[in-house]
Amino acid sequence: MIVVSDTSPLSSLAIVEQLSLLQQLYGKVIIPTAVATELANTEPEDSRVTAVLSLTWIETQSVTNRTLIETLQNEGKLDLGESEAIALSVELNVDELLIDERLGRREAKRLGLSIIGVLGVLVVAKGRGLISAVKPIMDDLILQAGFRVSDRLYTEVLQAAGE
């Protein structure tokens, strides 16, 4: 399975110490150079986030389609990390793109990519028996990682997880 990730799923899961879920679900996760740079330059510096780059199952790859990156930045109003993650996903014909930001998700869908966010990862992880409950981790994401979840989405995720 080929999976590419944007910055926020990695940093969010690292902050709540659930990053290993990605390795258990996917084996390997590929990130573009811009995402690696964003992880390395986390403000304020957080060793849990910067340590992501030392994991052997996280692989950094360069993106070759600079035109698509520029289009996503200019027309899609995406940042460099999101743009590179989407462009790399297109280049590699990924099985899934891990991305949470609304605009990035919209552009990825427009390009025909299969996407999943952190909350979707939690639901899948619970379904596979990797975690016993989604709610405490989702609460940690909100409180510790500043992850934004609407009341409606919070309820939908809990329903999807059977909680």
Checking if the pLDDT of 104 tops 70, the result is yes
Label residue 5 by pLDDT band (50, 70, 90): very high
Mean pLDDT of the chain: 95
Q: Per-residue pLDDT tens for 29-83? A: 999 999 999 999 987 678 888 889 999 999 999 999 999 999 999 987 999 999 9
Angle at 33 between CA 72 and CA 97, to 5 degrees: 60
Share of the chain above pLDDT 70, in %: 99
**Confidence at residue 42, expressed as pLDDT on a 0 to 100 scale:** 81
pTM of the model: 0.94
Q: Per-residue pLDDT tens for 108-121? A: 999 999 999 999 99
The CATH number assigned to the domain with range 3-117 reads 3.40.50.1010
**Confidence at residue 87, expressed as pLDDT on a 0 to 100 scale:** 97
Please report, for the chain, the start and end positions of each structural domain, with discontinuous segments joined by +: 3-117, 120-160
Sign of CA dihedral 156, 76, 144, 117: positive
**Confidence at residue 46, expressed as pLDDT on a 0 to 100 scale:** 81
The CA distances from residue 5 to 11, 81, 154, in Å, are: 10, 9, 22
